[in-house]
Amino acid sequence: MINKKIAIFIGLLALPMIGFSESTQNAPVLVTTYDSSNIQPNSYDLKGSNLQISYTTTGIDGKAHFSYKNAKDVLSFTGKEIRTVDTEIGTLVSVTTSMAVDTGSTSFSVLIPKVNLDKKLKFAIKTQGFLTQHKFSVIPSFNTGQLDNYKTYSLTGTARFVVF
C-alpha cells in the first residue's frame, strides 16, 4: 500500500549526537504531516500575453503577496491591497493597478482554480485573467451605460505548496 502522507520539516533536528552543542540539542523542531491527496497550493506563478502574475496566499510575514508585470509596469501588492472572493468556479483574486480621482480606475483579477496537489507538491494549471477599466466621471450625467470594460488573458503556470 502506498503511504499518502507527506512530512514537512522546519527547524533543526536536535538529537544528542556527536557534533551538536548543548544549545542545538534543545532547538525546536516542527514536523507537520499532510495527507498528500488533499494538499492545497499556496503559491501560483502564471504567465500569458506579455503578462506575469505571482500570487502567494501567505508569505513569511503572514500576508498574501501579489505581483503583476506587463510590458510597462511591475507592481507589487501585499495584505489588504489584495482582495479575494471564493466562488463555485474558484477564487477570484483582484488588485487595483491604477486609480484616478476623476476618471476611474483599473484593476486586474485572476481566477485561481481549485487544485489538489500530489506528492510533488506542484501542478500545471490553466486559468483566466481580467484587466478591467472602471469608468467614472465627476459629472454624474457621464456615468451612464457600461462602466466596466474587460480585456481577458489566457494564463498558464504552476500551482505549488511552499513552506515559508
Q: What is the H or E stretch that residue 76 is in?
A: strand 74-78
- Supply the DSSP symbol for 79: G
Distance CA 110, CA 131 (A): 9
Is residue 73 domain-shared with residue 107, that is, in the same domain?
Answer: yes
- Supply the DSSP symbol for 26: T
Is residue 143 domain-shared with residue 77, that is, in the same domain?
Answer: yes
Question: For 89-137, what is each residue's pLDDT tens digit?
Answer: 999 999 999 998 778 899 999 999 999 998 899 999 999 999 999 988 8
* Res. 14 pLDDT band, cuts 50 70 90: very low
Is residue 150 domain-shared with residue 69, that is, in the same domain?
Answer: yes
Whose CA is closest to 40, among 57, 28, 55?
Answer: 57
pLDDT of residue 11: 42
Is residue 71 domain-shared with residue 140, that is, in the same domain?
Answer: yes
Res. 13: pLDDT tops 50: no
Distance CA 98, CA 158 (A): 27
Distance CA 22, CA 26 (A): 7
Q: C-alpha grid cell for residue 15? A: 538529537
Whose CA is closest to 41, among 107, 118, 104?
Answer: 118
Is residue 130 domain-shared with residue 95, that is, in the same domain?
Answer: yes
Is residue 144 domain-shared with residue 67, that is, in the same domain?
Answer: yes
Is residue 105 domain-shared with residue 54, that is, in the same domain?
Answer: yes
- What predicted TM-score, i.e. pTM, was given to this entire model? 0.77
Is residue 49 domain-shared with residue 116, that is, in the same domain?
Answer: yes
Would residue 3 be called left, alpha or beta, if left means φ above 0 and alpha means ψ between -120 and 50 degrees?
beta
Number of domains in the chain: 2
Domain, as residue range, for 96: 41-160
Is residue 20 domain-shared with residue 94, that is, in the same domain?
Answer: no
Whose CA is closest to 7, among 29, 23, 27?
Answer: 29
Question: For 52-85, what is each residue's pLDDT tens digit?
Answer: 999 999 999 999 999 999 999 999 999 999 999 9
- Beta carbons within 10 angstroms of residue 77's beta carbon: 21
Is residue 72 domain-shared with residue 144, that is, in the same domain?
Answer: yes
Is residue 58 domain-shared with residue 26, that is, in the same domain?
Answer: no
Q: What is the 3-state secondary structure (H, E, C) of 112-125?
A: ECCCCECCCCEEEE
> At residue 5, what is the residue type?
K
pLDDT of residue 32: 56
Whose CA is closest to 133, among 104, 112, 157, 113?
Answer: 104
